[in-house]
Amino acid sequence: MEESLTQSPTQSPSQRSAIQGAPDLDAGMLTLSEEERLNQAAKDPYPWIMSRNIDLIFVCGGLFWALYLVLAATGFKVDLFGGPTAFIFAAISILGVHAFGDGHQIATMYRVYQSAPTRKVLGAKVAIVGLIALATGMSTLLWHETSQFWVKLVLAWGIQHQLAQSYGIALVYCYKRKYYMNQHEKGVMHFMVQSAMVYLILRMFAFDAFGNYTINHVDYAFERLVPAWLSHTALGVTLASLAYFAYLVYAKAKRDKQMFPIPGLMVLMTLIVMPFVAQERFVLVWVAFSTTFFHTTQYLVVTSAYYFKERGLPADVSYHKISSMLKRPVAWGYFGLLFGIGFTMAYLLPNWMIQYGQVEQAYAFASVYVFVNIHHFITDMYIWKLRDPYVQKLLVA
């Protein structure tokens, strides 16, 4: 993939070599315009969030699709007692939840209260959100009947949350690579994502056979609440918008000689195409793999890059070398804090409630699950706004 944002198909070989740092053999020395281009290339945004390999694996869906392809090829279910291969995949899923999932919600809280500008503007508001989320979580302990409602709400809301995040990250890749869409093109892209979100949520409540989530021995069945034709209509709208978006991307490439950034397409298409290839495995693929090995890994890469930049990179580390920060003590301290608090909240706290609070296992875990996710969903809507110049500068740089 081409990373230089200063090249164009009309540049001569000597111009391209100058941009890449080699001297112009015809001129004998760099001209002023070529020096300007070199200076501009140094100032251009880094085209990746962390690095090419890290982004492709953890942000763009590489890890998720690798796991899914093995799952689809072998035809088994994730089951601790379903044979050695099924056990391995179940173990991978469980380890992934604790390695990535538990910490990614804590990254949201850390983003609010570690960042002075964010804390000043949103600290009090996010604290109020936390109290509201805590009340919803506590309701599952006081009134067990509410557990079904809140867990289903979180699962459905998670679809909107994941698609919205992918849409934002796709835009970041566009900005980083200077792929600027007009209002119509951007509007169609946004509508495509929104229509996919509507379709997936309606699908959850349109078919009795969609599936059940069994969480800590409690079945969360998605009964048929809306007519099937509504889901089919939403599917038609999604496919039509996808086709129109593909046409606009093609037209822009032909008109402006500029292709939509491949990483951005991978981010968008992973969640939009996934339900069509997953078919009856959608519940399994979404919960066991997509959420853990696409959404949460994606979020951790973005939030850690943002944290390193806002904290201030060392003098010997440019934005283009930001992945080198992962080898430094500051990164291990950051991730250790996230995962430590996340594991305590998501696993140790519910088990403490079971052992010392005499709370049933299902409702102990459900209460924490509801609290943490609702707080995470609402807070994210406040803190990640690309219209905010401060946020955009750090995400795009």
Residues 298 and 62: their CA atoms lie apart, in Å, by 11
Reading the block at residue 107, the tokens are 């990254």
State CA 43 to chain mean position distance: 27
Residues facing residue 213 across a β-bridge: 220
pLDDT digits (tens, 9 = 90+) for 315-355: 888 889 999 999 999 999 999 999 999 999 999 999 999 88
Which range, of 22-26, 92-96, 183-187, 243-247, averages the lowest pLDDT? 22-26
Q: What is the pLDDT of residue 67?
A: 87
Q: Please provide the average confidence, as pLDDT, over all residues in the chain.
A: 83
Q: What is the pLDDT of residue 208?
A: 64
Residue type, 396: V
Residues shown for the chain: 397
SS3 23: coil
Residue type, 221: A
pLDDT digits (tens, 9 = 90+) for 253-275: 999 999 999 999 999 999 888 88
List all residues 6 or more positions away from 14 whose beta carbon is below 8 Å from its beta carbon: 24, 25, 26, 27
CB atoms within 10 A of CB 45: 17
For 140-152, letters b (16+ CB in 10 Å) and e give bbeeeebbeebbb
The residue behind tokens 């209002």 is 183
pLDDT digits (tens, 9 = 90+) for 156-180: 899 999 999 999 999 999 999 999 9
Residues facing residue 212 across a β-bridge: 221
Residues 222 and 225: their CA atoms lie apart, in Å, by 8
Asked whether the predicted pLDDT for residue 119 surpasses 50, the reply is yes
The sign of the dihedral angle between the CA atoms of 301, 306, 311, 314 is positive
Reading the block at residue 350, the tokens are 């519910």
Residues 220 and 214: their CA atoms lie apart, in Å, by 6
Asked whether the predicted pLDDT for residue 184 surpasses 80, the reply is yes
Segments making up each domain of the chain, as ranges: 1-44, 50-396
User: Are the C-beta atoms of residues 374 and 385 closer than 8 Å to each other?
Assistant: no
pLDDT digits (tens, 9 = 90+) for 75-94: 666 666 667 777 777 788 88
Residues 175 and 361: their CA atoms lie apart, in Å, by 46
- C-beta pairs of 144-148 under 8 Å, 24+ apart in sequence: 144/360, 144/363, 147/218, 147/362, 147/363, 147/366, 147/370, 148/220
Q: What is the pLDDT of residue 10?
A: 32
Q: What is the pLDDT of residue 236?
A: 95
pTM for the predicted model, two decimal places: 0.83
